[in-house]
Structure 1
């Protein structure tokens, strides 16, 4: 029998009192999030699988520890979080969004090391990719089925393509904006993309744009507004394609990045950007529409991006790769990506040459780079 398991790593908040007593906050944060979603404590306790009495006890103990109220309750309006309680759950969402790629990569690495200890273990496809909702869903689905699972490392697009060039991975995920910004981004990738060696697997087209609060209090309409007084921007990490895209858009407008408050900040996922803004720590950031929708933010479209997996031509015939392509072309994964807000799965799983994807001029430019 094949040994099956899923290695998981997770973060946890713990309060340490001066006496040394530790107060875990995982249940408190789950309850607060459930109160925020349901609007009353009874529904929150039910959603968390707790008795009403036990749930109340958890919340009251937490209020004593923080010396601050976490919820407000009235007979007519139910329950809602206080400002303190709201800040707690948004701080937790920021932490989760920031750490998730690191923890997932480490868990995948741990699982691979453990799996090698079993003689019946099968080779796994190694996926290096920038974080995205379609990639996240593919990992969950592939590793939940009877197919050789994926080994994941979250990397920037350039790091992923460089890994593919060194044969350190089988698939490298990267995104390319449609339109006027396509060629400059492709030129960044040119030294690692070889039309003679590589093919592309189309994942999805996704909407990328600015996240702002629902009422857009700073009246932000375009990238040019990032320099407006009192506008706080939160950026992606150094090396990410999104950060480069923002830099390129600003240079096109002859705007020095030093004029953008927060340009030197960095977050590692779209959800971390969205959580940053939803919690009031910034006014605007740039990412995919799904993250804005999940955090209740307004979305201002900027570009469409095509997300690809690059692979060596000779790996397409591998059984593991064929199973992955079958999964990507299957109804279950197609349906998953289709329900992601701002994603288009029409070409998902299509294998293309660089010339077919970007045109003969781009392919020739890459070949000569």
Structure 2
């Protein structure tokens, strides 16, 4: 099946019009991961000579080497090489979900034009690594996936703009506080909840945790730089509840007002050395080579209308959630578990 994929791209040009080749970013990431230019070139699928020439060319372009090679010690990114790599990763992390949502809309419109109306499941959900797995495993049913805040997703369900709304609730007393943000949008008689996954949320810190950050109280130290999630996100609601539980004022946290829009974007921000800590899921921390301080467990749930449970598109998604292969894919995500995956519940049980 032909599908549109929208990916962010950016260029760095000089007066002569020379522009950075996209392959350079792949090579920098591979050098960072392997620490050897030979392994990096092999990983990217180019010859050692081509990799060397690519680094030489763009080192001359900037006037500073991008990779430092030492006999017997392999290769490592120079400070400029690190900045370029983290800048590219932050662009992908920040724009990826929005572009994925746009791509979903365009693919659906094109397929309906070419093939006529096909079964479609409209899912509005808070962004997450497990949600990203759904389009890869769903067969025989088109998924119109739109990323938005939990309140936006539930509001869309109530006005008939989607079939499923995805949001997450922390466990314990903190969860009771967060749930107040959504109670006015949940209808106990007509709504039903579908279990999806559980995941760990916590603080993402540099490898080795050099600042010794062990919890939210450490963030009140004004020398600790923090990167936050956007105000409407469920993760921000969880973080604010943890601050309230610890009796910490947001005004005491350096960087509280600085926001990113995905877990990966927060992780990239910390990995780039622009913050000492950020709040998000364990999977994002591991993806960017960070350490993780777990602080809360939460359940990610889907909400639908009870009457929709007998419709073919809901039957199909329930079958996927209960499928062993899909649940194993969820278990492969650090900090994730297919908790009550595919189990239908009354909203009063949340």
2:10 is equivalent to residue 6 of structure 1: no
* Counterparts of residues 41-80 of structure 1 (less than 5 Å): 41-80=37-76
Q: Deviations over 1:118-147 (max 9, x none)?
A: 2434031011111111001112222xx3x1
Q: Deviations over 1:291-310 (max 9, x none)?
A: 11222212111110000011
Following superposition, the deviation at residue 149 of structure 1 comes to 1.9
CA distance in 2 between partners of 1:257 and 1:343 (Å):
28
CA distance in 1 between partners of 2:152 and 2:37 (Å):
46
CA distance in 1 between partners of 2:10 and 2:176 (Å):
44
Tell me the residue number matched to 2:293.
Answer: 300
**Which residue among 158, 164, 178 is the counterpart of 1:171?**
164
CA distance in 2 between partners of 1:315 and 1:107 (Å):
26
**Which residue among 219, 227, 232 is the counterpart of 1:234?**
227
2:105 is equivalent to residue 105 of structure 1: no
Q: What SS class does the counterpart of residue 325 from structure 1 fall into?
A: helix
CA distance in 2 between partners of 1:219 and 1:79 (Å):
29
Following superposition, the deviation at residue 117 of structure 1 comes to 0.9
Following superposition, the deviation at residue 22 of structure 1 comes to 4.0
**Contact 2:197/2:301 (8 A) holds in 1:** yes
Q: Relative to structure 2, which stretch is displaced further, 127-136 or 218-227? A: 218-227
2:33 is equivalent to residue 37 of structure 1: yes
CA distance in 2 between partners of 1:39 and 1:251 (Å):
43
**Which residue among 5, 8, 12 is the counterpart of 1:15?**
12
TM-score (norm 1): 0.91
Q: What SS class does the counterpart of residue 108 from structure 1 fall into?
A: helix
Following superposition, the deviation at residue 53 of structure 1 comes to 2.3
Q: Deviations over 1:183-206 (max 9, x none)?
A: 221111011111111111111111
CA distance in 2 between partners of 1:350 and 1:241 (Å):
22
Following superposition, the deviation at residue 162 of structure 1 comes to 0.7
Q: What SS class does the counterpart of residue 292 from structure 2 fall into?
A: strand
Tell me the residue number matched to 1:114.
Answer: 110
Cα RMSD, aligned residues only: 1.5
- Unaligned stretches of 5+ residues in structure 2: none
Following superposition, the deviation at residue 42 of structure 1 comes to 2.1
**Which residue among 172, 183, 192 is the counterpart of 1:190?**
183
CA distance in 2 between partners of 1:271 and 1:290 (Å):
9
CA distance in 1 between partners of 2:296 and 2:245 (Å):
15
**Contact 1:212/1:298 (8 A) holds in 2:** yes
CA distance in 1 between partners of 2:224 and 2:113 (Å):
53
Following superposition, the deviation at residue 13 of structure 1 comes to 2.1
**Which residue among 116, 126, 130 is the counterpart of 1:130?**
126
TM-score (norm 2): 0.96
Q: Relative to structure 2, which stretch is displaced further, 69-78 or 192-201? A: 69-78
Tell me the residue number matched to 1:217.
Answer: 210
2:145 is equivalent to residue 152 of structure 1: yes
CA distance in 2 between partners of 1:327 and 1:120 (Å):
24
Tell me the residue number matched to 1:365.
Answer: none
Q: Deviations over 1:299-354 (max 9, x none)?
A: 11111000001111111111122111111111221110011111121421111111
CA distance in 2 between partners of 1:297 and 1:16 (Å):
32
Q: What SS class does the counterpart of residue 235 from structure 1 fall into?
A: strand
Tell me the residue number matched to 2:87.
Answer: 91
Q: What SS class does the counterpart of residue 316 from structure 1 fall into?
A: helix
CA distance in 2 between partners of 1:193 and 1:224 (Å):
33
Q: Relative to structure 2, which stretch is displaced further, 147-156 or 344-353? A: 344-353
CA distance in 1 between partners of 2:222 and 2:175 (Å):
31
CA distance in 1 between partners of 2:60 and 2:101 (Å):
37
**Contact 2:226/2:278 (8 A) holds in 1:** yes
Tell me the residue number matched to 1:315.
Answer: 308
| Matched residue count | 350
